[in-house]
């Protein structure tokens, strides 16, 4: 993904130098500090309406409005735009309306504002912010996309105090018809938002939504993965023969380690210790929020040594294509597998299921060792508190056995292909 600009600090805003022409300093989420040649500094928010129209709005002047207040004003403006309101002259219009209204009109306006503060858009945004610190970055990005791009356009103005199951089910069914996996995640988000509202007294304890059977059943909803021995060799032979060096390296690292695609694509050289043949994945990248040390088989070390000779900056797999990403995007790995003819058969995430199934059935590897390699969370809080075994020595042996097995299968598939030719 493109690198997001960091939030502008007060020091940077204060020391922004004057130039002969107007220029902007980004602060993330569409917020910019507009610096005029006259010395005036204004906070400007760029936005896009539900109809796709782009615009910008001045929300305040620095230093009268500080960085934190500007950020809040930008978030509020984006919220209103997502709810279909016009952002033009919003603050001035509301002030003028308050001055000219009768008491009845003021009371009505307060009711409207009360409904907005309890709307799905406002409270779902609050839920995302509440969960942000406890989530891995990839989980937060995915949940934000689903809530703001899929749910808010359809439920944005709904009052969370009175939202019912029948209001939500048609939305989920519509999403399921388009993308079943998105609908499943959307249901999880909805349950989380409802729970957030109940805990804060916005809804009663008995105001749960009955969404368990809201979605139609879809066959093949699992991530596609080759878990039969007959397909492993063909898959590995095809991956090893892929022409794109960066993408091939990413797929091989996913196959050798069974790490999640996003973690593989964003791997940094600072995380790699090729002498010790270890990859130390920091906690903030892990779904469990626990640092994960991965043993690298010799085949992975050889591939990484080759990659290091090509440069590429901080990332093991530099960005490819026209997106301008600093590192390889996980979608590039999935696309490569589809282009190789494995659409619907095997996805990048499928290497995890392949290890879990094939290594267990064919190589008889202990299940606890496999679970440790996959970095799965413990089944319950008690187990997580007391069972902290990582099986690092066992995994070092197992992952070399696994890599050797993968190459043996690839060699066998190559011989078979030659005989058929």
The per-residue pLDDT for range 210-248, each reduced to its tens digit, is 998 888 765 545 688 999 998 999 999 999 999 999 999
How many whole angstroms separate alpha carbon 49 and alpha carbon 78? 9
Q: Which of 101-115, 177-191, 287-301 has the lowest mean pLDDT?
A: 101-115
pLDDT at 418: 62
Best-predicted range by mean pLDDT (69-78, 95-104, 142-151, 304-313) = 142-151
Q: How confident is the model at residue 147 (pLDDT cuts 50, 70, 90)?
A: very high
How many whole angstroms separate alpha carbon 122 and alpha carbon 116? 7
pLDDT at 414: 73
Structure tokens at 271: 């995380």
Interacting residues of 219 by C-beta distance below 8 A, sequence separation 6+: none
* Average pLDDT value for residue range 295-322: 87
Domains and CATH numbers, the chain: 10-97 (3.30.160.390), 101-220 (1.10.150.130), 229-420 (1.10.443.10)
pLDDT in tens, 67-82: 888 898 888 888 888 8
Task: Return the exposure string of 327-345: e unless at least 16 CB atoms fall within 10 Å of the residue's CB, then b.
Answer: bbbbebbbebbeebebeeb
Q: Which helix (H) or strand (E) holds 24?
A: strand 23-26
Coil vs helix vs strand at 57: strand
Task: Tell me which residue of 22, 84, 82, 83 sits closest to 58, measured CA to CA.
Answer: 22
Structure tokens at 105: 């009109």
Q: How confident is the model at residue 18 (pLDDT cuts 50, 70, 90)?
A: confident
Sheet-wide strand order for 54-62: 23-26, 31-35, 41-48, 54-62
* Average pLDDT value for residue range 317-342: 86
DSSP string, 80-144: HHHTT---TTHHHHHHHHHHH--HHHHHHHHHHHHHHHTBHHHHHHHHHHHHHTTS-HHHHHHHH
Q: What is the percent of the chain where pLDDT is above 70? A: 86
* In contact, 78 and 30? CB cutoff 8 Å: yes
How many whole angstroms separate alpha carbon 112 and alpha carbon 317? 51
Interacting residues of 110 by C-beta distance below 8 A, sequence separation 6+: none
Widest Cα–Cα separation across the chain: 90
Q: Which residue has the tokens 């942000």?
A: 132
pLDDT at 179: 80
* In contact, 16 and 25? CB cutoff 8 Å: yes
pLDDT at 419: 61
Q: What is the percent of the chain where pLDDT is above 90? A: 47
Q: How confident is the model at residue 330 (pLDDT cuts 50, 70, 90)?
A: confident
pLDDT in tens, 96-134: 555 666 667 667 767 777 888 899 999 999 999 999 988
pLDDT at 101: 62
pLDDT at 35 over 60: yes
State the average pLDDT for the chain: 85
How many whole angstroms separate alpha carbon 268 and alpha carbon 249? 13
pTM of this prediction exceeds 0.85: no
pLDDT in tens, 362-415: 999 998 888 888 887 544 443 444 334 467 888 899 999 999 999 999 998 776
């Amino acid at each position: 993904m493109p690198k997001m600009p960091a939030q502008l600090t007060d020091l940077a805003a204060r020391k922004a130098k004057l130039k002969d022409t107007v220029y902007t300093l980004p602060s993330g989420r569409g917020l910019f500090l507009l610096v005029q040649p006259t010395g005036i500094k204004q906070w400007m928010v760029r936005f896009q309406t539900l109809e796709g129209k782009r615009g910008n709005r001045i929300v305040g002047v620095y230093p009268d409005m500080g960085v934190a207040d500007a950020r809040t004003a930008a978030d509020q403006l984006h919220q209103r735009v997502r709810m279909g309101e016009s952002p033009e002259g919003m603050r001035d219009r509301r002030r003028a309306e308050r001055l000219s209204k009768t008491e009845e009109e003021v009371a009505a306006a307060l009711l409207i504002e009360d409904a907005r503060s309890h709307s799905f858009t406002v409270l779902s945004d609050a839920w995302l912010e509440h969960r942000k610190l406890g989530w891995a970055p990839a989980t937060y990005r995915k949940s934000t996309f689903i809530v703001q791009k899929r749910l808010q356009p359809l439920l944005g103005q709904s009052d969370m105090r009175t939202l019912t199951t029948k209001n939500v089910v048609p939305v989920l069914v519509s999403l399921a018809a388009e993308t079943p996996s998105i609908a499943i995640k959307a249901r999880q988000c909805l349950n989380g938002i409802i729970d957030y509202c109940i805990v804060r007294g916005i809804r009663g304890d008995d105001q749960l939504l009955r969404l368990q059977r809201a979605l139609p059943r879809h066959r093949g909803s699992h991530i596609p993965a080759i878990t039969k021995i007959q397909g492993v060799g063909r898959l590995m032979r095809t991956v090893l023969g892929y022409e794109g060096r960066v993408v091939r390296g990413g797929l091989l690292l996913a196959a050798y380690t069974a790490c999640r695609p996003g973690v593989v694509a964003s791997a940094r050289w600072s995380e790699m210790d090729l002498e010790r043949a270890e990859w130390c994945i920091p906690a903030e990248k892990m779904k469990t929020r626990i640092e994960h040390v991965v043993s690298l088989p010799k085949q992975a070390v050889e591939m990484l040594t080759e990659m290091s000779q090509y440069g590429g900056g901080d990332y093991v797999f530099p960005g490819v294509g026209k997106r301008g990403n600093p590192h390889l995007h996980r979608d590039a790995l999935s696309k490569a597998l589809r282009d190789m003819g494995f659409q619907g058969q095997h996805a990048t995430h499928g290497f995890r299921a392949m290890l879990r199934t094939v290594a267990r059935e064919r190589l008889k590897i202990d299940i606890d060792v496999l679970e440790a390699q996959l970095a799965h969370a413990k089944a319950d809080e008690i187990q997580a508190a007391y069972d902290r075994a990582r099986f690092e020595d066992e995994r070092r042996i197992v992952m070399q056995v696994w890599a050797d097995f993968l190459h043996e299968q690839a060699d066998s598939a190559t011989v078979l292909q030659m005989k058929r030719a």
